[in-house]
Amino acid sequence: MHVNQKPRRRHSEQFKAQVMTACGEPGASVSAVALSFGLNTNLVRQWQRGRGYKPNRPAIASQAAGQVQPQFVALSLPSPNVQAAPVADVAPQVIRVELKRGALVVDVMWPMAASSDCAAWLRELLR
């Protein structure tokens, strides 16, 4: 330790919880909260990320900050009454590319099943 350095301060979990609660207030900035408690903003941001501060009871800490813990709610939905279309009525999917250069117009239709080949062709064409 250098002669001019102050000893490292240690903060209690209760103090850290107060700082985190103040940061959770609507409209509060971390910088302003850190300044009001005489702390460095980077230290408070580390506490927010969980470095150096682990709340013992996160549900109580979040309630103190005015936050509501999300809960899973199971919903039962009616099964959809979907009828599959006959295969013959489904049009084949294609990629359509229209290129215009001056008076020249080229219209290319590429099968969707060969989309990676189409991408390679376009990359070469646009180089």
For 16, other C-beta atoms within 10 Å of its C-beta total 20
Asked whether residue 78 is assigned to any structural domain, the reply reads: no
Asked whether residue 8 is assigned to any structural domain, the reply reads: no
Asked whether residue 48 is assigned to any structural domain, the reply reads: yes
Asked whether residue 58 is assigned to any structural domain, the reply reads: yes
Domain that holds residue 113: 92-125
Q: Say yes or no: 18 and 54 in one domain.
A: yes
Q: 89: burial class by Cβ within 10 Å (0-12, 13-18, 19+)?
A: exposed
How many percent of the chain have pLDDT more than 70? 73
110 DSSP β-pair partners: 95
Asked whether residue 44 is assigned to any structural domain, the reply reads: yes
Asked whether residue 101 is assigned to any structural domain, the reply reads: yes
Total domain count for the chain? 2
* Cα gap 68→110, rounded to integer Å: 52
User: Which tens digits make up the pLDDT trace of 21-42?
Assistant: 888 888 888 899 899 889 999 9
Report residue 110's pLDDT band, with 50, 70 and 90 as the boundaries.
confident
Asked whether residue 1 is assigned to any structural domain, the reply reads: no
Residue 69 pLDDT: 67
Out of 64, 81, 104, pick the residue that ends a domain: 64
Name the residue with higher pLDDT: 89 or 114.
114
User: Which tens digits make up the pLDDT trace of 78-102?
Assistant: 777 766 666 555 566 888 888 887 8
Q: Which 3 state secondary structure label does DSSP give 74?
A: coil
Asked whether residue 120 is assigned to any structural domain, the reply reads: yes
Asked whether the predicted pLDDT for residue 59 surpasses 60, the reply is: no
